[in-house]
């Protein structure tokens, strides 16, 4: 029990303060303040000792002017991919509700799918002394967070795992969900099924493409390269991909859309062309049940993702978790009509 507590303290210990730096370097608090803030009046040797203490302790300057409870800011940061994406609304709300139950505030921001912006935002939140971070990663290298985690910032990744570090991750079963969605189309007689997904560097896009391929392989259906398209979810790119799949001498008879933004664009393309093409989308979206036909989707529970991640974050903070884990939540197929259309030919 004592060993577990020590390990938890090492991983999620208290953030080092200027007082800690001063004690390690053998100088006064004012000297540390001068070094941290780049002020004159410190000898090179003293500055070197203070900087070595800062590096050894993983000290980060506190940029937050507001302290909400003694010794802690009582706040957590949430780094989202895109604040405009409706998928992140219930996820963010769930994180906020858990934070509120623990007496903490939530500060969030969007990376806009830019790894550099993700890093900048995450480190800015750490500089403001958040107690923990919930991150939907845009990048695939999160070693920049290692000093923050060692300094006591609890960290959980959501929707996609961290890259090149060992950290908690709460994910949906993208592979299994896509496999089930494509198998559903195959079960309704389709053999020429297109897949339109997100950028290939994104974990969920890769997993959903893998699920698509697995379902096709299970059914003994060879996949043509022209049936697959990964890239940005910009409507124009998705539109071009869909129109290409729907044209030619042997067009697809069904489409599996890799996320809600792709699905919405494909719905528009099909409506404009007056084509009754079978469609299954990954992620539910507003009004999907009111379209004619309603859109069949593989739904993931965004609120459960956020709630599970936040609860795990606070368990880190109270020292009850030591070993990082990967938690995968199930998806479910919701049939509404579009995925049950038979092939037109």
319 vs 91, residue with greater confidence = 91
- Written as six digits, the tokens of 68 are 């909400």
Confidence of residue 10 (pLDDT cuts 50, 70, 90): very low
pLDDT score, position 165: 97
Instruction: For residue 159, give the H/E element and its range.
Output: none
Q: CA-to-CA distance for 284 and 115, rounded, in angstroms?
A: 26
Q: DSSP state, 219?
A: T
Placement of tokens 């029990």 in the chain: 1
CA distances from 334 to 147, 177, 280 (A): 43, 11, 9
Superfamily (CATH H level) for 16-60: lambda repressor-like DNA-binding domains (1.10.260.40)
Give the whole-angstrom CA distance, residue 113 versus residue 199.
Answer: 10
In the chain, CATH 3.40.50.2300 covers 72-170+300-328, 172-299
CA distance 247 to 107: 47
* 72-170+300-328 fold: Rossmann fold (3.40.50)
Q: What pLDDT is recorded for position 3?
A: 42
- pLDDT at site 249: 83
> What's the confidence (pLDDT) of residue 34?
92
199's CB contacts (< 8 A; 6+ apart) are: 113, 205, 230, 231, 232
Could you tell me whether strands 296-299 and 332-334 are parallel, antiparallel, or unpaired per DSSP bridges?
antiparallel
Residue 319 clears pLDDT 90, i.e. is over it: no
Q: CA–CA separation, 265 vs 272, rounded Å?
A: 11
145-167 pLDDT, tens per residue? 999 999 889 999 999 999 999 99
Residue 67 scores a pLDDT above 50: no
pLDDT at 62: 65
For CATH 1.10.260.40, list the domain ranges present in the chain: 16-60
The pLDDT, as a whole number, for residue 63 is 60
Mean predicted confidence (pLDDT) in 212-235 = 97
Q: Which residue, among 174, 323, 215, 194, has the nearest Cα to 270 in the 3D structure?
A: 194
Cβ-proximal residues to 50 (8 Å cutoff; 6+ apart), any chain: 21, 25, 27, 31, 32, 35, 42
**For range 306-327, the mean pLDDT:** 93
Split at pLDDT 50, 70, 90, the class of 68 is: very low
Burial profile 248-260: b = 16 or more Cβ within 10 angstroms, e = fewer: eeebbbbbbbbbb
- Binned at pLDDT 50, 70 and 90, residue 202 comes out as very high
User: According to the model, what pLDDT value does residue 266 have?
Assistant: 98
Mean pLDDT, the chain, whole residue set = 91
Q: Kindly indicate the confidence band of residue 60, based on its pLDDT and cuts at 50, 70 and 90.
A: confident
CA-wise closest residue to 76 among 106, 121, 120, 111: 106
Indicate the CATH number of 172-299 among 3.40.50.1820, 3.60.110.10, 3.40.50.2300, 3.40.120.10: 3.40.50.2300
pLDDT over 80 at 5, yes or no:
no
The two tokens of residue 329 are: 């939540």
Residue 327 bridge partners (DSSP): 170
- Indicate whether 6 pLDDT > 80: no
Average pLDDT over residues 300-320: 95
* Residue 292, token pair as written in the block: 């004619």
pLDDT tens digits along 93-104: 999 999 999 999
CA neighbor of 170 nearest in space, from 182, 185, 160: 160
Residue 192, classed as helix, strand or coil, is coil
């Amino acid at each position: 029990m004592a060993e577990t507590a020590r390990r938890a303290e090492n991983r999620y210990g208290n953030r080092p303060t200027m007082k800690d730096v001063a004690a390690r370097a053998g100088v006064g608090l004012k000297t540390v303040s001068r070094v941290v803030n780049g002020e004159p009046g410190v000898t090179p040797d003293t500055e070197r000792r203070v900087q070595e203490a800062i590096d050894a302790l993983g000290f980060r300057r506190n940029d937050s002017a507001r302290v909400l409870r003694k010794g802690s800011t009582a706040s957590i940061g949430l780094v989202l991919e895109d604040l405009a994406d409706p998928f992140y609304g219930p996820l963010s709300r769930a994180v906020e509700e858990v934070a509120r139950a623990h007496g903490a505030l939530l500060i969030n921001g969007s990376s806009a799918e830019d790894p550099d912006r993700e890093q900048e935002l995450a480190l800015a939140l750490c500089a403001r002394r958040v107690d923990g971070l919930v991150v939907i990663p845009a990048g695939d290298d999160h070693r920049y967070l290692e000093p923050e985690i060692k300094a006591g910032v609890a960290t959980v990744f959501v929707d996609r795992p961290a890259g090149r570090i060992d950290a908690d991750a709460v994910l949906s079963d993208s592979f299994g969900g896509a496999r089930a969605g494509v198998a559903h189309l195959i079960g309704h007689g389709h053999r020429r099924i297109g897949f339109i997904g997100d950028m290939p560097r994104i974990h969920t896009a890769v997993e959903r493409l893998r699920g698509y391929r697995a379902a096709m392989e299970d059914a003994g259906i060879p996949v043509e390269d022209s049936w697959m398209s990964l890239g940005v979810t910009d409507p124009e790119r998705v539109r071009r991909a869909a129109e290409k799949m729907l044209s030619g001498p042997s067009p697809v008879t069904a489409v599996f859309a890799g996320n809600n933004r792709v699905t919405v664009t494909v719905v528009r393309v099909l409506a404009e062309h007056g084509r009754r093409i079978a469609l299954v989308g990954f992620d539910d979206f507003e009004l999907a049940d009111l379209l004619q036909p309603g859109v069949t989707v593989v739904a993931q529970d965004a609120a459960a993702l956020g709630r599970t991640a936040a609860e795990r974050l606070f368990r880190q903070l109270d020292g009850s978790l030591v070993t990082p884990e990967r938690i995968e939540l199930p998806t479910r197929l919701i049939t509404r009509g579009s995925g049950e259309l038979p092939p037109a030919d």
